[in-house]
Structure 1
Amino acid sequence: MSSAYSMAGVGSVGSVCSADSAGFEDAPAQGSPAQDGPASTPAGDGGPGKRSVSFGAMLAAALPGALRKFDPRAMWHNPVMFIVWVGAAFLTLVGIAQIFDMEMRQGEPIYFTWLVAACLWATVLFANLAESVAEGRGKAQADALRKTRTTTPARRVVGYDETADPDARGPEHGEGPSYIEEIPSSDLRLGDVVVVAEGDLIPGDGDIISGIASVDESAITGESAPVIRESGGDRSAVTGGTRVLSDRIVMRITQKPGESFVDKMIALVEGANRQKTPNEIALNVLLSSLTIIFLVVVLSLNAQAGAVGASVSLTVLLALLVCLIPTTIGALLSAIGIAGMDRLVQRNVLATSGRAIEAAGDVTTLLLDKTGTITYGNRQASAFHPLPGVEQSALVRAAALSSLADSTPEGQSIVALAERMGVHVGEVPGAQPVAFTAETRMSGLDLPGGERIRKGATSAIEAWIAAEGATVEQGVIDAMRDRVDAVSRQGGTPLVVAEQAADRAMRVLGVVQLKDVVKEGLRERFDDLRAMGIRTVMVTGDNPLTAKAIAKEAGVDDFIAEAKPEDKLAYIKAEQAKGQLVAMTGDGTNDAPALAQSDVGVAMNSGTSAAKEAGNMVDLDSDPTKLIDIVRIGKQLLITRGALTTFSIANDIAKYFAIIPAMFMDRFPGLSALNIMGLHSSLSAVLSAVIFNAVIIVALIPLALKGVDYRAESGERLLGRNLKVYGLGGIVAPFVGIWAIDLFVRLIPGL
C-alpha cells in the first residue's frame, strides 16, 4: 500500500443527527492523509448534507414518506406490522358497523373501538416514521451528489495513441492520427479516453493514464482541501463530478453511464437498492414465528374465557394481539439496518452491500498495512551510532554532508537532526552532490579535495566499497552489521555512512537510525479490538526484524513481513479456512485479489478502479485506519439490533402479565389481587397498553438511529449487559408506562 497515507484519523465525519457519534468518543475526527491536504472540516461543516437537524424536524420531514408506506403493497414486506395494519383496518370497519348495530358493542362505549383503532393506526404510522427517518437522513447528501451528476462537456480523444500527446497535433481541427471532439458527458462509453484540463469538471469515473493534477473532491467527500491524483500509481482513480484545479490529465472512462460511483452512492443514501441482509431475514422469520405463537395464545384465551361464560370482544382481542406480538423490534428493524449504513456514509464510507456491514460486526481478523495505517509513513532520523574509534561529531557531519543532495524526507531529517545536535553544514564550494536514486540507493557528496562521502542501505554501501576495490577490516564490517541488526531489532531503518579519502582509503563511520513513528493511540485501540476477540495483523514489506519491532511497539497480534500480494491472499484464505472472518484495506491493483477474497474489503477512494471494484466498501477519505472504525460500526449495528430485540421480547412478556389480570377482573373479581398496578378497569387497561405500544416505538427511534453505546467487551459480557439493561428495562417499562397512561385514560367517561 502507498505510503501516502500519513495521518491517523477517522476522516471527515459529518453528522445529520448529532447523536450519531455516540459510542465513538475515543475516535475523534481527524484529518485526511497529509498528502491529500490539511485536516478535515469539523463534523457538521462542509460536506453535502452534513448538518445537525433536530429530531422533531426529522420526523416532520419523514412524515410524507411514512404516509406513502401505508400502501399494503409496501406493508406486507414487514409481516409483524402488516398484521397491525390489517387489525387497524378491521377495527375501523367494526367501528363503522357499531354505529348502526348496537349489539356489536358488547357493552363497550362506542368510541372505545375507535380509540383502539386510532392507536393501531398510530402504531403503523410510527413504524413507518422510523424507517422513513432512517431513509431520509441521506436525502440532503443525495441531492448534493445529484448536482454533480449533471451533464458536462467532455473532450473525448478519438484514435488515442499512448505514445503521443493528443493535444500536440492541432486536435481541435481533427488533424493527425488522433484528435479531440467535444461531446456531452452522458455520451461517454466504457473505455473512452478524455482530456481534462485546469478548471474542468471530470466527466465520469476513470483512471488517469497520463499526467498529474490537483483535484477538488469536496462535492464527494466534503473536504475543501485539494488532493493529488496521478497516473502509474495507487492514486490514479478519479470520480465524475470532481474538478481539476491545476495541470492537465488524460483519463480512461471505467464505468458505464448510470453506473458511476456517484450513481451508486445516491442509490445507497436514498436506500433505493438496499436489500435485507441474511441476519435481518432470519430475524424476520423469528418475529413472524413469535407473531403466530401469540396469535394462537390470544385465540386460545378467547376460547378459555368462553368456556367459563366470559366473552371477550373482537376489539379487545385485536388490541391484546397487537400488544403481545413483537411490534417494537418489527417497527425498528429496518431503521436499525438503514441507520447502520447511514453511519458509514456519514463517515465517508460507501458500503456496496448491507452484508458487508454485518460481516464487519463479526470480523475476527483485521489486516492492516503498516505504512500510513500503523505508522505515519515518513521515516525520520532519530539517532547516530558511530563505530568503535569514530567520533560521533565526525559521523554526524559526514551524514549531514551526504544528505545535502538528498531531497527525500529521510535525507532532510538527517540534516535537521544534525543541526539540533549543533552540527551545521552548508554548501561546500566546488563539491559535487550525488543525488539519491532508487537504483543506487545512496546519496553523497564529492568534495573538491578528492574526498567522497556516501550514505545508503547496507548492501548498497558494501557494493560501493567493493566496486571501488577498497578493503575494510573484517572487525569493522562485523561492528557495522551489529549496529545495523540492533537498529533493525528496534524497528528502525539503518543507513550506513562511509567516506573515501583522497588516497582511496575507505572508512566506515557508523549507522544512522531512521524510525517510522507509530501513530498515537493505536495501541489502546488495538487493545479494544483484542477485547472484542479480534486479531490484528500488520502487513509490511519490511524485513522480519524491523517488522517484529514495530509490531511489538504498536501492539498488534501478528505480522506478515516482506509481504507480496500473493502473501496477503494466502493469509486471508488460511484464516477463512479456520472459520474466521477477515477484513483488510487496499488501494492498488495488486490488492484487488485480496480485497475480493476478504469478507470486508475496504478500498481507498484514491486507489485504482480495480481495487474499488474488488472491495465491498470504499473509503472516500482514503484513510486506512478507518477500517478499525468500520468494525466498530458493524459491531454497534449488531449490538443495537440484539439489544432492541431483547427489549421488545421482554416488553411483550411484561405486557401480557400487566394487562391480562386487569382484562378479566370485572368478570372474575378474584383476579383483582393480581392487578398490582391498580389499573382502573379492563377497558382502560387495554387502551393504556395499546397507547404504550405505539408510544414506545417513537421513544426508541433515536436509539435505533444512533445505535447502542458500544464498549469493547467480550461477547459474554455484552450479552450479560444487554440482558440487564434492555431485558430488565423491557420488563419494567410496560408496568411503569401502562400505569402512568392509565392515570389519564381513566378520566375518559365510560372507561
Structure 2
Amino acid sequence: MVGMHTGHDMSGHGGHDMAGMHTGHDMSGHGGHDMAGMHGGHAHHVAQFRRLFWIMLVIAVPVVAFSPMFASLIGYSLPHDGPVTWISPVLGTVMFVWGGRPFLTGAWQEIRARAPGMMLLIGLAITVAFVASWGASLGLLDHELDFWWELALLVVIMLLGHWIEMRAIMQSSSALDSLASLLPDTAERVEGDRIVEVAPDALRVGDVVVVRPGATVPADGRIVDGRADLDESIVTGESVPVERGVGDRVVAGTVATDSGLRVEVTATGDDTALAGIRRLVAEAQSSPSRAQRLADTAAGWLFWFALGSAVVTAIVWSLVGQPDDAVVRTITVLVIACPHALGLAIPLVVSIATERAARGGVLVTDRLALERMRDVDAVLMDKTGTLTRGEPAVIEVATVDGQDRDRVLAIAAAAEQDSEHPLARAIVRAAQEHELEVPASSGFTSSPAEGVRATVDGHTVAVGGPALLATAGASELPVADEWRPTGAIILHVLEDGRPVGALRLADEIRPESREAVDALHALGLQVVMITGDAQAVADAVAEQLGIDRVFAGVRPEDKSAKVTQLQQEGRVVAMVGDGVNDAPALATADVGIAIGAGSDVAIASAGVVLASSDPRSVLSVVELSRATYRKMTQNLWWAAGYNLLSVPLAAGVLAPIGFVLPMSVGAILMSLSTVVVALNAQLLRRLDLSPAASVKRILGR
C-alpha cells in the first residue's frame, strides 16, 4: 500500500498509485537439500536395524539358554562337556560379528575421526564381553567371565534401541513424504474438446486442468473457471476451507471440497509451493543447532568420563584382590555409560518440532532461529501485508441526504465491474460481501485523471477522485475532511453529475491481527509496528490494534536501522514481514519471520517462514520454541543425569553394603533411558500449532 495516499497517478482513479502494492516472492529459486535421499537413508537404516534385531533375537534364544551362567541363575543344569557347550560361543560369535557390525563400524569411524562417542562405547563394551567370554569358554579365564548371555542381550537391546531411534527419526521426516504423497496420481488435462488423464509430472506451465469435487490440485495455478471451497491446511495449517474463485491462485496438494474447477498451471515440479516447503523443512532438519552441539560435546565428555571410570574401576577391584570382578565391573561401566539416550535427546526433539511446525504452517528454515525465539521480548511487525491485507477495501460508505447506502455502493460497483483496477475490485468485492444486487451497466469508459463512467439503470454513474469533482463542478462531501487525516483513499460517486455518496477505502486490517497483538502481550512481549505510511495512518491502525510503539514513514532501506535501534535498547527482536522490501530487516533481526502464503514462501533472509498470511502464526513460533526448549532440557537432564548416577553404581561403589549392579540390568536400564527420551520427545506431537489453537491456549478464547 506504499503510495496509496501519496498523490501518484492511479490510472483511472485520479490520484492514488496502487502499483507494487503487494509483490510476491517466487520460491522456485530457493536452494535446498534433496529430502528424498535423506528419507531414503532413514528408511534403509530402519529396515537394517529391524531385520538385524529379529534375526539376533532368534539367535539370542539358544545363546542365552545354553549359557552356563544363565542356567545357574535360573536354576537348571547343562552338560559340562560335549557339543552343547559350544552352542553359546559359536552363536555368540555370530551375534558379535553380524549383529555387532553396525556398532563396530561406527566405533572405527569415531576413532578415525578422533571424535569418541556412543558407537565407540558400544563397540568397546561388546568387544570386551566377547573377548572375556571366549577366554572363559577356552578355560583361559575364570568361568565367571562367561558373558555370552550378557553379550547376546546387549546386542539385541542395542539393536532394538537403534531401531526405535531410526524409526522415530524417520517418522519425524515423514511429513516431507506426506507432502509429496498429497499430489494425485493423475491429472485431468484439457486438450481441445477432450480431457486426458496424465501424470502430474507431465503437466507444463500454461496447461489447463480439471479439478473435480473432492479431488486434489495437481500443480500450482490460477483458477480460470469455477468457484470452490479449498482445503488449504497443508499450506496454512488451518483446517477451515477457504473460498477461491476465478483469478485466485491455488497450490498443489490443496483439495477442492465442494465443487469443480478449471485451473491454468503456473508452476510444476520443483517450482511448486509444495516442493519449496519440502526443501525448506529439509534445510531445517539438516541445519546446525547450538543445542545439538551441546549434546555432541556432552557425549564426547561422557566417553572420557566412562573410560576414566572404567580404568579406576579396573584398578580398584584388582587392588582389592578380585580381578574377575574387575572385568565384570569394567564391562558394566562401559555398557551403562553408553550415551545412546544423550545422542537421541536433541535431534529427535528438533526433528519432531520442525515436522510439527510444517504441519501447522510454520516452516523453520534455521534451527538457531527457532531456539532464539524463546528469548525474544519485542516483535516488530510490518504493517502492510502483515497486520493488514496489503490491498484496498471499502471501509465506509457515506451518502447525501435521501440516498440509501446500499444503493450507492451497488451503483458504484455496477460502474466499476468492467475495470481491473485494485480499487474497482475492492468496490465490487464490498458489494458482493454485503450481498447486494449489482445492476447491469453499459458504455463503460475509464479516464486516468478522473475515474470511471458507465450507464446504470438509465443514469450516468461516475466514480473517481478530486479531478472528477472538479470536472463536474461539484464539492466533496463534508465527511471527507474526517477521513483524510487517516490516510484513506476517498472516491466520490456521482449520478447524472451530482454527488450521491462517497467511499472510504483503506488498506484493510486483518481480522486476526487484534488477537495476535493481544496474545503477544499476554506472552509478555512488546509489539512494535513499522510502516512507510504517514504517521496519521500508522497511528490509526496502531490504536485499533493496541500496538505499543510505532515507527512510521520509514523507507524500506531504513527498516533494518529500526531493528538495530531496538537491539541497542537491549531488546531481542523478532521481525515479521511479508518479504516486500523487508529482507535487510529480516536478516538484521535476532529472528526473521517471513509471513506469506502459498508459493511466495521462500524468503532467504528469514529463519522462520509462515506459510499462511495469518499474523497469529507468530504465536505458534513462540510456543513451539518454548516447548522445544523444555523438551531439550528435560531430555538432556534425563540422558546425562542418568549416566552420571548409574556409572558409579555400575562401578560398584555400593559393593561394601552388598549392592552390585548386574551387567544385564545395566544394559536394560540404559536402553530404557533411550526409550524414555524418545517417548518424551514424542509428546511434542500433541502440540496443535494452528493459529486458532495458539490463541485459545494463550487467551482462552
Common fold by TM > 0.5: yes
Residue 135 (str. 1) matches residue 170 (str. 2): yes
Task: Give 2:659's aligned residue.
Answer: 681
Amino acid at match of 1:295: L
CA distance in 1, matches of 2:234, 2:563: 31
Could you say if the C-alpha distance between residues 629 and 574 of structure 1 is closer, same or farther in structure 2, counting changes exceeding 3 Å?
Answer: same
Please state how far the C-alpha of 1:336 moved relative to its aligned partner.
Answer: 1.5
The 5-angstrom pairing of residues 504-653 of structure 1 reads: 516=509, 518-519=511-512, 521-529=515-523, 531=524, 534-540=525-531, 543-561=534-552, 565-566=556-557, 568=559, 571=562, 580=572, 582-586=574-578, 599-602=591-594, 604-608=596-600, 611=602, 619-621=610-612, 623-653=614-644
Residue 64 (str. 1) matches residue 50 (str. 2): yes
Task: Give 1:246's aligned residue.
Answer: 261
Please state how far the C-alpha of 1:296 moved relative to its aligned partner.
Answer: 1.8
The 5-angstrom pairing of residues 394-473 of structure 1 reads: 397=403, 399-407=405-413, 460=465, 464-469=468-473
Task: Give 1:716's aligned residue.
Answer: none
Q: Structure 2-normalised TM-score?
A: 0.61
The 5-angstrom pairing of residues 87-166 of structure 1 reads: 87-94=124-131, 96-101=133-138, 104-105=141-142, 107=144, 110=146, 114-115=149-150, 118-119=153-154, 121-123=156-158, 125-139=160-174, 142=177, 145-146=180-181, 148=183
Residue 339 (str. 1) matches residue 316 (str. 2): no
Could you say if the C-alpha distance between residues 374 and 63 of structure 1 is closer, same or farther in structure 2, counting changes exceeding 3 Å?
Answer: farther
Please say if residues 650 and 666 of structure 2, whose CA atoms lie closer than 8 Å, have aligned partners that are also in contact: yes
CA distance in 2, matches of 1:414, 1:691: 70
CA distance in 1, matches of 2:438, 2:394: 22
Amino acid at match of 2:638: F
Could you say if the C-alpha distance between residues 535 and 294 of structure 1 is closer, same or farther in structure 2, counting changes exceeding 3 Å?
Answer: farther
Please say if residues 411 and 456 of structure 2, whose CA atoms lie closer than 8 Å, have aligned partners that are also in contact: no
CA distance in 1, matches of 2:634, 2:659: 33
| CA RMSD across the alignment | 5.9
Q: Structure 1-normalised TM-score?
A: 0.58
Please state how far the C-alpha of 1:526 moved relative to its aligned partner.
Answer: 0.9
CA distance in 1, matches of 2:510, 2:311: 69
Task: Give 2:675's aligned residue.
Answer: 698
CA distance in 2, matches of 1:692, 1:603: 46
1:673-729 CA distance string (max 9 Å, x none): xxxxxxx63144x65444323212212322112339999xxxxxxxxxxxxxxxxxx
Could you say if the C-alpha distance between residues 658 and 708 of structure 1 is closer, same or farther in structure 2, counting changes exceeding 3 Å?
Answer: farther
Please state how far the C-alpha of 1:512 moved relative to its aligned partner.
Answer: 10
Please state how far the C-alpha of 1:289 moved relative to its aligned partner.
Answer: 2.0
Please state how far the C-alpha of 1:350 moved relative to its aligned partner.
Answer: 4.2
Please say if residues 198 and 247 of structure 1, whose CA atoms lie closer than 8 Å, have aligned partners that are also in contact: yes
Could you say if the C-alpha distance between residues 373 and 267 of structure 1 is closer, same or farther in structure 2, counting changes exceeding 3 Å?
Answer: closer
Please say if residues 522 and 554 of structure 1, whose CA atoms lie closer than 8 Å, have aligned partners that are also in contact: no
Could you say if the C-alpha distance between residues 64 and 263 of structure 1 is closer, same or farther in structure 2, counting changes exceeding 3 Å?
Answer: farther
Amino acid at match of 1:132: R
CA distance in 1, matches of 2:132, 2:253: 57
1:14-66 CA distance string (max 9 Å, x none): xxxxxxxxxxxxxxxxxxxxxxxxxxxxxxxxxxxxxxxxxxxxxx9997389
Task: Give 1:83's aligned residue.
Answer: 120
Could you say if the C-alpha distance between residues 438 and 707 of structure 1 is closer, same or farther in structure 2, counting changes exceeding 3 Å?
Answer: farther
Could you say if the C-alpha distance between residues 616 and 568 of structure 1 is closer, same or farther in structure 2, counting changes exceeding 3 Å?
Answer: same
CA distance in 1, matches of 2:546, 2:494: 39
Equivalent residue pairs, number: 570
CA distance in 2, matches of 1:438, 1:134: 60
| Alignment gaps of 5+ in structure 2 | 3-45, 54-98, 414-424, 689-701
The 5-angstrom pairing of residues 142-291 of structure 1 reads: 142=177, 145-146=180-181, 148=183, 193-199=205-211, 221=235, 225=241, 228=244, 238-239=251-252, 245-249=260-264, 251=266, 262=274, 274=286, 276-291=288-303
Secondary structure at 2:266's aligned position in 1? strand
Could you say if the C-alpha distance between residues 151 and 334 of structure 1 is closer, same or farther in structure 2, counting changes exceeding 3 Å?
Answer: same
Please state how far the C-alpha of 1:558 moved relative to its aligned partner.
Answer: 3.5
Please state how far the C-alpha of 1:284 moved relative to its aligned partner.
Answer: 0.6
Please state how far the C-alpha of 1:285 moved relative to its aligned partner.
Answer: 2.1
CA distance in 2, matches of 1:415, 1:184: 38
Please state how far the C-alpha of 1:97 moved relative to its aligned partner.
Answer: 1.3
| Alignment gaps of 5+ in structure 1 | 3-59, 156-166, 173-180, 385-392, 420-424, 666-671, 673-679, 712-751
Please state how far the C-alpha of 1:280 moved relative to its aligned partner.
Answer: 1.4
Please state how far the C-alpha of 1:543 moved relative to its aligned partner.
Answer: 3.8
Secondary structure at 1:522's aligned position in 2? helix
Please state how far the C-alpha of 1:344 moved relative to its aligned partner.
Answer: 1.5
CA distance in 1, matches of 2:322, 2:289: 46
Please say if residues 88 and 117 of structure 1, whose CA atoms lie closer than 8 Å, have aligned partners that are also in contact: no
Please say if residues 227 and 261 of structure 2, whose CA atoms lie closer than 8 Å, have aligned partners that are also in contact: yes
Amino acid at match of 2:542: A
Please state how far the C-alpha of 1:634 moved relative to its aligned partner.
Answer: 3.0
Please state how far the C-alpha of 1:82 moved relative to its aligned partner.
Answer: 0.7
Percentage of matched positions with identical amino acids? 16
Amino acid at match of 2:675: V
Could you say if the C-alpha distance between residues 412 and 507 of structure 1 is closer, same or farther in structure 2, counting changes exceeding 3 Å?
Answer: closer
1:598-622 CA distance string (max 9 Å, x none): 654445342448x556656555555
CA distance in 1, matches of 2:463, 2:186: 54
1:366-390 CA distance string (max 9 Å, x none): 4445467546889675797xxxxxx
Amino acid at match of 1:637: T
Please say if residues 213 and 245 of structure 1, whose CA atoms lie closer than 8 Å, have aligned partners that are also in contact: yes
Amino acid at match of 2:620: D
Residue 481 (str. 1) matches residue 481 (str. 2): yes
Amino acid at match of 2:678: I
1:260-310 CA distance string (max 9 Å, x none): 655565678799973543541343123212321342233234334444545
Could you say if the C-alpha distance between residues 655 and 557 of structure 1 is closer, same or farther in structure 2, counting changes exceeding 3 Å?
Answer: farther
Please state how far the C-alpha of 1:217 moved relative to its aligned partner.
Answer: 7.1
Aligned match of 2:315 in 285, 303, 306? 303
Please say if residues 601 and 615 of structure 1, whose CA atoms lie closer than 8 Å, have aligned partners that are also in contact: yes
1:176-231 CA distance string (max 9 Å, x none): xxxxx99987578xxx75322434999986776x9687696769559695764887
Amino acid at match of 1:300: V
Please say if residues 85 and 124 of structure 1, whose CA atoms lie closer than 8 Å, have aligned partners that are also in contact: no
Amino acid at match of 2:127: F
Secondary structure at 2:303's aligned position in 1? helix
CA distance in 2, matches of 1:217, 1:199: 13
Please say if residues 441 and 454 of structure 2, whose CA atoms lie closer than 8 Å, have aligned partners that are also in contact: no
CA distance in 2, matches of 1:211, 1:426: 24
Please say if residues 410 and 514 of structure 1, whose CA atoms lie closer than 8 Å, have aligned partners that are also in contact: no
CA distance in 2, matches of 1:536, 1:514: 20
Please state how far the C-alpha of 1:142 moved relative to its aligned partner.
Answer: 1.5
1:65-94 CA distance string (max 9 Å, x none): 895997245676795431342144224414
Please say if residues 220 and 251 of structure 2, whose CA atoms lie closer than 8 Å, have aligned partners that are also in contact: yes
CA distance in 1, matches of 2:355, 2:166: 12
